[in-house]
Homo-oligomer: A and B are copies of this chain.
């Protein structure tokens, strides 16, 4: 099959926010020549200086205006709570026909905030690469981060399919598999596969941190499998996660409510010695794990 988007896919790709995701995208786009020119912009002067030092892009812009001017595609790689502010500085300088896309972990909130800001002719393609590590910042990125991972696209109903196809092509160029999904549905699925697990991981760290003196230090000393895995999840970027929680509030609170009911049912089974219930719950965990292995997602 002929690739409908031969490389470079874009003449000028501007990446805004050079954290783990943005700097990984920059590295991969450059390595595989997904754009003829790759421009970086970050609100932090320190990050801009570091990106220039790392030499992972063709040019670091001096301001938002320079970053947006002449770009075929601008990718917002900032926390979801910072999307609107980042976009508002860029959009007035984008030309008609250019594409604005993002990598935010919540999609309804990003669409709700960006849509009113969109000038005529700029095409919005919301996207979300399901990839990450516990590290953040421009030094933490690497070009293979997206290999074999999904990127979900949540194009607008009246959006331009050609623009969505180009963004899909960009992520496929980064090694990702892509799939389109309704934004509300995306937010629900992500609430359970990502946002709730992070909430639980942050919470158990707090619960352990509140233990009385000796127990607290022993929790750290004897951190066993289980707690250790939770702390790895809990090491993620605070601002990013605060924004995710606040911007996917309804879906997350609903999933937490379901989870809490289920945890209480488990507590009741433990209190009253309901063997069958407990074993059934544990075996469901094993089956789901097996399904993931079968799907190559483990």
A contacts, CB < 8 Å to B: 130-134, 150, 152, 181, 185, 188-190, 192-211, 214-215, 218-236, 238-239, 241-242, 245-246, 249, 252-253, 255-260, 262-264, 266-267, 270-271, 273, 275, 278-279, 281-292, 295, 297-298
B297 touches A228 (CB 8 A): yes
- 7 A-B pairs with the lowest CB-CB distances in the bound complex, closest first: A234-B285, A197-B226, A205-B285, A235-B289, A238-B282, A193-B227, A194-B224
Contacts A202-B285, A221-B297, A227-B194 given; does A207 touch B259 at CB 8 Å: yes
Q: A192 — which chain B residues lie within 8 A by C-beta?
A: 204, 207-208, 211, 215, 219, 227
Give the residue name and chain of the B residue nearest to A285 (CB): B234
B270 touches A194 (CB 8 A): no
Q: How near does chain B come to A185, taking the closest CB pair, in angstroms?
A: 7
Q: What is the CA–CA distance of A210 and B287 in the complex, to the nearest angstrom?
A: 13
Set B211, B242, B253, B281: member contacting A206, Cβ < 8 A? B281
B194 touches A266 (CB 8 A): no
Q: How near does chain B come to A168, taking the closest CB pair, in angstroms?
A: 16
B215 touches A189 (CB 8 A): yes
Q: How near does chain B come to A219, taking the closest CB pair, in angstroms?
A: 5
A275 touches B209 (CB 8 A): no
A207 touches B258 (CB 8 A): yes
Q: What is the CA–CA distance of A229 and B236 in the complex, to the nearest angstrom?
A: 14
A204 touches B242 (CB 8 A): no
Contacts A245-B270, A263-B199, A266-B199 given; does A289 touch B219 at CB 8 Å: no
B231 touches A292 (CB 8 A): yes
A242 touches B203 (CB 8 A): no
Q: A224 — which chain B residues lie within 8 A by C-beta?
A: 130, 132, 190, 193-194
Q: A203 — which chain B residues lie within 8 A by C-beta?
A: 259, 262-263, 266, 281
Q: How near does chain B come to A267, taking the closest CB pair, in angstroms?
A: 5
A233 touches B225 (CB 8 A): yes
15 CB-based A-B contacts, threshold 8 Å: A185-B215, A202-B281, A205-B285, A205-B289, A206-B281, A209-B284, A228-B292, A231-B298, A234-B282, A235-B290, A239-B279, A241-B282, A252-B270, A257-B267, A260-B264
Q: What is the CA–CA distance of A163 and B134 in the complex, to the nearest angstrom?
A: 44
Give the residue name and chain of the B residue nearest to A152 (CB): B222
Q: What is the CA–CA distance of A281 and B152 in the complex, to the nearest angstrom?
A: 29
Contacts A189-B215, A297-B223 given; does A231 touch B285 at CB 8 Å: yes
Set B190, B252, B286: member contacting A235, Cβ < 8 A? B286
Q: What is the CA–CA distance of A235 and B259 in the complex, to the nearest angstrom?
A: 18
Q: How near does chain B come to A296, taking the closest CB pair, in angstroms?
A: 10
